[in-house]
Structure formats: structure tokens, C-alpha cells
Structure 1
Amino acid sequence: MDGFQSDTPARLIDAAEHVICHASGFSEVTVRRIAARAGAPVSAISYHFGSLEELGIAVATRLYRRLNAARLTELQRALDRAQPGPARIEDLVSALIAPSIRWSLDRSSGYPVFDYFNRMRIMTARPERFAGFVSSVEHHRIFADHLHRAAPWFSEREIAWRINAALGIRSQITQGRSRIELLTGAPLNQQDPEAVVREAVRMASALFARPVAPAVTRTVERRSRAVIRP
């Protein structure tokens, strides 16, 4: 049967990504539209994936792997530029958050799939299906190692907290731009993604900057040194 050919799963994933990215609402993503786009019978979705929800997870998983590959490529470039020393904090932070921001401002990237995925996760009756996807942090641990080398004045735990904060900045831009615009009183220039990236990286990089001792502490330290001089 043509609908169950070996390439059908890949065609269904391609078709689902296209339908999701061109839908004007969650309800427009249907098995009939996806199957028609893939040139497969409607029953092929349940045969290969079990349900529309499982197909949506497969689409998001593939896209996430692509996004993570873009992150790791940018990370490797930052490391190569810095050899033999540690990479610049700004370059590491850029590798961590910039690909997501760029994709979110470019509909051709497939980023609407993540919005669809998050809607599914809220509405699902089977939250365990999403557990592995949501709890995966191994790729972030790679960044933690390099950021700890670049910012050794913070402990590994403090680096992890700051990575979470940097990812929060990213998420506000990718999912809550209106809130940022209300708080800052200025619109994000979505026509210039690189300007948005630069601003986000600048703010997130400040999380890893070497702490500056308070002026009072520095004054006390200078006086202490002056007292013990012979």
C-alpha cells in the first residue's frame, strides 16, 4: 500500500512541519491536511506515529536537533577562534541564545513548530510523552563547561543559574516580545534580527561578567594595605 511505503514517515514529518508553519491557528493542523500534503492516506499517521500528537512531537524533535546543531556549530567556531585560550563570554552566549532568536524572527526557519509543540504540551492528556523532550539539558551542560572556563570567578552552580537566566532572556524574546516592549518602552526591531541578537547577547553576557568589588570594600582594602606598610 502506497501510504505505508518506507519513506512515508519522513514525508509525513515534512508535511506536518509545512502545515504547522502555514496554519493560522492550532485547529488548522489536522490529520487530513497533513496526509494530503504528504500524499498519504489519513491512516498512515496512526500507523507510523500512533496519533497526531506523536507526529507533532516527532516534528518538534527533528527541528530541535537542527536548532541544536546550529548552536553547536556556532559554539565550535567560538572555540576555534579562541584557541588555545577560553572563548569570549560574548561568543559563548551568542552560540547559546542567538540561533533561537534568529529562527523565531524568521518564519521560514520552522520556528512555529515550537509554538505548536508548547500548545500541545499544555493541552495534552499524556504529559509523560513530553517528559524526555522537556527535561533534556545535556546540550546546555556543554555550554556550562565552556562558560565556567571563561568565567572562573563563578562556581559551576552559579554558572548553571546564569545559563538559566540567559535562556530566560532568549525565551522572552522568542515567546514574549510584547512584554519586553512594554517594560522597555521600545519596540524590538524585528526587521533587523541581528540588532535584536546583539542586544540580547549584550544583556545576557553581563550575567557572566567578573563581579566588581563595592567601592566601600575597595577603600577598606586600600587602607588596610596602607596600615601594614613598613
Structure 2
Amino acid sequence: MKASETKVESGIATRQRLLESAQQLFAEQGFDRVSVRDITDRAGANVAAVNYHFRSREGLVEEVIERYINPINDERLERLEKLERRFGSKPAPLEEILDAFIRPFVTQVRRSEMSEMLFYRLMGRIFGDLGGALPASVEAGLRELLQRFGKAFSRSLPGVDREELTWRIHFMVGAMIHTMAHGETLRRLSGDASGDPSMETTLSRFIRFSAAGLRDGVCQDEKGGADGPQNEFLF
């Protein structure tokens, strides 16, 4: 192998170690508490490597966020598109829209290098610690996500106006972030009364909880659909 090829492979390996070390530390300690030195020490690299591979600490933070959030959002939109094709001109069931919105966290954790606990903690920290300072590419993706899912929720919840539905979605997302970030805290504070449910059980509980909040005040017909005037809108 040529010396240049060895150098390239070494650089790729160093970059990967920096990403893996950063995501682990951010999940464990939060974004504000982790220094560049903490990351490079764990990765076995020098401080200059962060600037070489990511331009700055902020560039490294952005890449960690993008490599986790963008695949989740892509899967969300893919699931919503399949759902809407399946139901055609009819509104998709609320619970199935919620499943399309939330389940990608479950499928993506299985592709992650991190443990399930750290993965969900990182997700919670990304939105809890950095919700107001997300990379522009991530914000653009989330804006599109809100528009697409907002329309789908609106079709399934006729009679809920734009402002009210926007706040209900906001509350639902807040509960999701808190659940991911603080599941371990709940078990500790409740004296294990919360049990140790599987992620599938937690997902099912969360969908039922969220559907009840989103559906509050909407009349249901005998088939489980919503009565009332159609109120579709663009966010």
C-alpha cells in the first residue's frame, strides 16, 4: 500500500473516532459541558485534528446532529408518503400518522453505533440543549417536516384550527423529547414504578397518549373517523 493511501485511511479512521467520541460524550454529558480536549482525549487524537476534519468544534457538533437527525427525518417523510399513497384521497388514521412520525427513532437506533439508552439521550439533548441553534440544513428539514405532517394531521383532525393544532403538535414533540432524554430519571424517581418496558411498548403508549391530546374535542363517528368540516392548511 502506498504511503499516501495509508495516510488517507488513517485520516478517515481518525475522523470516525472523533465523531463516535463526540456523540458518546454529548449524549452522556450534554453539548455545553464537553470540550474539544475531552473529545480528542477519548478519540486518541490531537486537538488540531478537529479543525482539520471539521473546521471547528461547531462544525463537529453540526455533523453529529446531521448524521442522526437527517436520516430520521428522511424516514419520516418516506413513511408518510407511503401512508398517504395507501389511503389516497382519504385522511390517514391519526395513530398511523403518529407512528410514521415517531417510529423512525426506533429503526434508526438499530443502525447506530450507540446503545439504545445513549441514542435516545442524544436525541433528547439535541432538541433540549440545541433546539434554538440547530444547523441550517436541519432546521430546513424540520420546517418541511412540520408542513408535511401538519397537513396530514389537519386532514385527520378536521375542526381543529391552525393555531390550536400547531400548539398540540408542539406539546406532543416536547413530550417525545422529554421521554427520550429522561427515561432513566423516571425509573429512578418513581422507584422503578415505571417498570422496564420495551421500546415497542413505550412507542405504543406514546402514540395513544399523543392521539388523545391531538384529538381532544374532535367528535368521532362510529368508525373512528372524525366528524366536522375539513380544515386543511399550509404551515
Q: Could you tell me whether the CA contact under 8 Å between 1:102 and 1:197 is conserved in 2?
A: no
Q: How does 1:98-117 map to 2 (within 5 A)?
A: 98-100=103-105, 107-108=114-115, 111=119, 112-114=121-123, 117=126
Q: Could you tell me whether the CA contact under 8 Å between 2:50 and 2:57 is conserved in 1?
A: yes
TM-score between the two structures when normalised by the length of structure 1: 0.67
Q: Secondary structure, in 3 states, of the residue corresponding to 2:99?
A: helix
The aligned length equals 202
Q: Could you tell me whether the CA contact under 8 Å between 2:128 and 2:177 is conserved in 1?
A: no
2:78 to 60, 73, 77: 73
Q: Could you tell me whether the CA contact under 8 Å between 2:98 and 2:207 is conserved in 1?
A: yes
Q: Could you tell me whether the CA contact under 8 Å between 1:188 and 1:196 is conserved in 2?
A: no
Instruction: Tell me which protein shows more helix as a share of its residues.
Output: 1
Q: Could you tell me whether the CA contact under 8 Å between 1:57 and 1:117 is conserved in 2?
A: no
Residue 223 of structure 1 is matched in structure 2 by none
Q: Post-superposition shift, 1:145?
A: 0.9
Gaps of 5+ in 2: 220-235
Q: Could you tell me whether the CA contact under 8 Å between 1:17 and 1:113 is conserved in 2?
A: no
Matched, 1:18 2:16: no
Q: How does 1:56-95 map to 2 (within 5 A)?
A: 56-95=61-100
Residues 60-117 of structure 1 show CA distances to partners (whole Å, capped at 9, x for unaligned) of 1121101112222322232233223111111111222333366679844672544665
Q: Secondary structure, in 3 states, of the residue corresponding to 2:159?
A: coil
The structure having more radius of gyration, on CA atoms, is 1
Residue 170 of structure 2 is matched in structure 1 by 164
Residues 161-215 of structure 1 show CA distances to partners (whole Å, capped at 9, x for unaligned) of 11111112211210122565658x841534x1111000000010112326268xx
RMSD: 4.0
CA distance in 1, matches of 2:49, 2:90: 52
Q: Could you tell me whether the CA contact under 8 Å between 2:157 and 2:218 is conserved in 1?
A: no
One-letter amino acid of the structure 1 residue matched with residue 78 of structure 2? T
Gaps of 5+ in 1: 214-230
One-letter amino acid of the structure 2 residue matched with residue 18 of structure 1? E
Q: Could you tell me whether the CA contact under 8 Å between 1:78 and 1:87 is conserved in 2?
A: yes
Q: Could you tell me whether the CA contact under 8 Å between 1:13 and 1:55 is conserved in 2?
A: no
Residues 108-129 of structure 1 show CA distances to partners (whole Å, capped at 9, x for unaligned) of 467254466569759xxxx86x
Residue 177 of structure 1 is matched in structure 2 by 183
One-letter amino acid of the structure 1 residue matched with residue 65 of structure 2? A
Q: 1:157 to 1:116 in 2, by over 3 A?
A: closer
Residue 194 of structure 2 is matched in structure 1 by 187
Matched, 1:47 2:52: yes
- Structure 1 segments, 4+ long, off by >3 Å, are 1-8, 10-14, 20-29, 32-36, 100-110, 112-122, 130-136, 178-183
Q: Could you tell me whether the CA contact under 8 Å between 1:60 and 1:117 is conserved in 2?
A: yes
Percentage identity across paired residues of the two chains: 20
CA distance in 1, matches of 2:157, 2:96: 13
Q: Post-superposition shift, 1:160?
A: 1.0
Residue 152 of structure 1 is matched in structure 2 by 158
